[in-house]
Amino acid sequence: MSERWRGVVAALLNPDLRAVLAETMAAGPLPDARRRRAIERLHELGLVRETASGALEFDETAVRGILSDNPPVRPSGPTRFLGADGRIDRYPAQHAERDELLRWVAERAFGDAEVLTEQQTNERLSAFTGDAAVLRRHLVDAGLLERTRSGSEYARPAASD
């Protein structure tokens, strides 16, 4: 793996480089909802902190930590399709990888003998995605989740011998 990432991360510690970078990236003001989400994400990453007066400021701690650590290890398996919040941020294009991700979700979200209402199913799937209905449909299409005969409940298919 190239060591170029170290130079990029180190550049974030230089206030002059950050200022020029910010100038080149300015796209105008964001709507309030998008700005709040962006600030929440920057907080999660440890890149900003709130001052006593309530203003936001860049926090070098996370960047310095990255430089002092070993290079980041790329996740493997289904976890490579998860964002920093542990939820699915994209679905794999390759069928085998998508099946692997869906099996991973099904194993964690549902017990073997559980029968859940659609609302309960969506609540479980919401831990993995922002769009539980899409994930539910993917699981049904993959044969990892099925609707009961009444059509009002969901369960994992019975294991075949």
Instruction: Show which of 68, 88, 115 is a domain's final residue.
Output: 68
pLDDT tens by residue, 88-139: 999 999 999 999 999 999 999 998 889 999 999 999 999 999 999 999 999 9
Query: Quick check: 14 and 63 in contact, CB under 8 A?
Result: no
Domain assignment of residue 145, yes or no? yes
**27 and 95 part of one domain:** no
| pLDDT at residue 71 greater than cutoff 70 | no
| Single pTM value for the model | 0.55
**9 and 62 part of one domain:** yes
Dihedral in degrees, nearest 10, Cα atoms 73, 81, 8, 23: -160
Dihedral sign for Cα atoms in the order 59, 41, 105, 138: negative
Number of domains in the chain: 2
Query: 92: closest CA among 106, 108, 76, 74?
Result: 76
Domain assignment of residue 73, yes or no? no
